[in-house]
Amino acid sequence: MSYVPHTDADREQMLAAIGVNTVADLFNDIPEGLRFPELQLPGPRSEQEVRARLTELAETNNHVGQLPSFLGAGAYGHYVPAAVGYINQRGEFLTAYTPYQPELSQGTLQGIYEYQTMICQIYGMDVSNASMYDGGTALAEGALMTIGATRRRKLVVAGTLHPAYRQVLRTYTVGLGVEIVEVPWDPATLQVDLAALRAAAEGAACVAVGYPNFLGAIEDMAEIGRIAHGAGALFLVASYPMALGLLKPPGAFDADIAIGEGQPFGAGLNFGGPYLGVLTCKQNLVRLMPGRVVGVTADVEGKRGFVMTLRTREQDIRRERATSNICTNQGLIQLTATVYLALMGARGVKEVAHLCYQKAHYLAQQVGALPGVEVVGTSPYFNEFVVRLPRPAAEVNAALLGLGFIGGYDLATDYPDLGDAMLLCATELNTRAQIDRFAEALGEVL
């Protein structure tokens, strides 16, 4: 039963207070023809008929279950073992929403604790929170942590960092008197310009870079970390977590804060969400961390138990000491990542990372051999890379879709200096035969 707190008398009193007679009067500013639309639904149908019709409608979409995809740019198609969906849909996980009462929520609390532990192992960091909403909000919250830690109001961000993350950061900091400096990148390497970064870092709260960056290149992380710390700034790394099965973790480069998009760990693409924000930091920054942290303790009988150890939101502590108004975590998606990582193990994640690396380099070899196609950049890359084309990427992608392929990410809007270019991606789901057929199709449309 839905909860409707207002009686008819309550509603009449509220309408009288604002000077209207009915609820319908509140919609008078909307054109009459659009005011109360009706869905033109067919008459009653059986369950079998409804399912058949919905399946028919769904199949009109072009999706990665039908077409080979070479599109990444922050959301990646990885294989999700069937056991992940089975476990995270169990009632004790699916319905245990809030962990505020530890005596009733041991399963939820243990799931968060295990997630935090595995994320810290992957990122090489001291502390992880229970998760954020997505990678973009994790970056913005991490940047706000650096402002609180340094009392500086300038954020230095590599121009090679994910464009959507940079936009979320700008949105978060509107009205806060924060200066955001975006550092240019080298068109030859597709890495951030280190000289420009060194100049911008003075007086900054943080230096934020992608690892790998949005253009697929692996930045000189050790040198960037030295630049940040040499200027008294904190080092903030936005890392694709699956790549860390192969690459050194951010902690190895003395990162102060490391964030990421946890979607590759079992969440699937899901039409763009819900996703999972990863946020980790060094121990000395933990009290600036938003959200919540779960720890392990012992009860009065000496048995191991899990409790919420740290909550720094304004609902839980004095408002002036709060570091964020983030009040929850992506519970089910965080659990999904926990189950995925537990099933895959360190060896499984490493194997997936190796497959992504090898298949992307094979893809680059095949498409780079096509007339008029140039693989851009001299830097090492993980599973994404830029190609320059002899015609606009939008036209190429439209033609590829007609041949049964989802092409790469069109870089025309975010990186117009690259010309007619797209960002191509490969994961363990792309077979050798698919890559060969894609390169052949690309050659045809060019």
Q: Are residues 308 and 429 in the same domain?
A: no
- Report the candidate in 353, 443, 342, 352 with the shortest Cα–Cα distance to residue 399: 443
Question: pLDDT of 293-339, one tens digit each?
Answer: 999 999 889 999 999 888 776 566 666 666 666 666 788 899 999 99
Identify whether 3 is part of a domain: no
Give the pLDDT confidence score for residue 104 in this predicted structure. 74
Domain boundary among 341, 362, 384: 341
Q: Are residues 320 and 402 in the same domain?
A: no
Question: What do you get for the CA distance between the two ends of the chain, in Å?
Answer: 59
- Report the candidate in 151, 172, 171 with the shortest Cα–Cα distance to residue 290: 172
> Where residue 73 falls among pLDDT bands split at 50, 70, 90?
very high
Identify whether 130 is part of a domain: yes
Give the pLDDT confidence score for residue 315 in this predicted structure. 60
Does residue 257 carry a pLDDT above 90? yes
Q: Are residues 327 and 384 in the same domain?
A: no
Give the pLDDT confidence score for residue 5 in this predicted structure. 80
CATH number of the domain within which 248 lies: 3.40.640.10
Averaged pLDDT of the chain: 93
Does residue 108 carry a pLDDT above 90? no
Identify whether 2 is part of a domain: no
Give the pLDDT confidence score for residue 40 in this predicted structure. 84
Give the pLDDT confidence score for residue 329 in this predicted structure. 76
**Edge-to-edge strand list for the sheet holding 384-388:** 374-376, 384-388, 421-425, 409-410
Cβ count within 10 A of residue 230: 11
CA distances for 446 relative to 47, 59, 362, 412, angstroms: 47, 29, 20, 17
Q: Are residues 140 and 277 in the same domain?
A: yes
Q: Among 103-107, 137-141, 270-274, which stretch is predicted with the lowest mean pLDDT?
A: 103-107
The rounded distance, in Å, linking the Cα atoms of 437 and 425 is 15
- Report the candidate in 142, 115, 103 with the shortest Cα–Cα distance to residue 332: 115
Identify whether 105 is part of a domain: yes
Which pair of structure tokens corresponds to residue 6?
Answer: 């207002």
Give the pLDDT confidence score for residue 4 in this predicted structure. 72
Give the pLDDT confidence score for residue 216 in this predicted structure. 98
Which pair of structure tokens corresponds to residue 144?
Answer: 């706000």
Q: Are residues 260 and 322 in the same domain?
A: yes
Which pair of structure tokens corresponds to residue 416?
Answer: 């117009």
Identify whether 239 is part of a domain: yes
Identify whether 60 is part of a domain: no
Looking at residue 89, its amino acid is Q
Cβ count within 10 A of residue 21: 9
Identify whether 33 is part of a domain: no
Place of tokens 């196609």: 373
Looking at the structure of the chain, the number of domains it has is: 2
Q: Are residues 311 and 364 in the same domain?
A: no
The answer to whether 355 and 362 have CB atoms below 8 angstroms apart is no
Q: Are residues 356 and 274 in the same domain?
A: no
Q: Structural domain of residue 382, as residue ranges?
A: 346-445
Better pLDDT: 45 or 105: 45
Question: pLDDT of 159-178, one tens digit each?
Answer: 999 999 999 999 999 999 99
Does residue 97 carry a pLDDT above 60? no
The answer to whether 278 and 262 have CB atoms below 8 angstroms apart is yes
Which pair of structure tokens corresponds to residue 4?
Answer: 């409707």
Domain boundary among 312, 341, 370: 341
Which residues touch 354 (CB under 8 Å, ≥6 apart)? 245, 246
Domain boundary among 301, 322, 341: 341
Helix (H) / strand (E) element for 441: namely helix 432-445
3-state DSSP: the chain helix, strand, coil percent, rounded to 5? 45, 15, 40
Mean pLDDT of 240-245: 98
Give the pLDDT confidence score for residue 311 in this predicted structure. 79
Looking at residue 123, its amino acid is Y
Q: Are residues 190 and 217 in the same domain?
A: yes
Question: pLDDT of 77-91, one tens digit each?
Answer: 999 999 999 998 887
Question: pLDDT of 17-35, one tens digit each?
Answer: 999 999 999 999 999 888 8
Q: Are residues 142 and 265 in the same domain?
A: yes
The answer to whether 400 and 51 have CB atoms below 8 angstroms apart is no
At residue 170, the 3 state secondary structure works out as helix
> Where residue 430 falls among pLDDT bands split at 50, 70, 90?
very high
**74 Rama sector, left if φ>0, alpha if ψ -120 to 50, beta otherwise:** left
Which residues touch 386 (CB under 8 Å, ≥6 apart)? 190, 215, 216, 375, 376, 377, 411, 418, 421, 422, 423, 424
Q: Are residues 362 and 314 in the same domain?
A: no
> Where residue 1 falls among pLDDT bands split at 50, 70, 90?
very low
CATH number of the domain within which 427 lies: 3.90.1150.10
Q: Are residues 354 and 318 in the same domain?
A: no
Identify whether 205 is part of a domain: yes
Question: pLDDT of 356-406, one tens digit each?
Answer: 999 999 999 999 999 999 999 999 999 999 999 999 999 999 999 999 999
Helices (H) and strands (E) in the chain, counts: 13, 13
Give the pLDDT confidence score for residue 319 in this predicted structure. 63
Give the pLDDT confidence score for residue 39 in this predicted structure. 84
Mean pLDDT of 52-75: 92
Q: Are residues 215 and 111 in the same domain?
A: yes
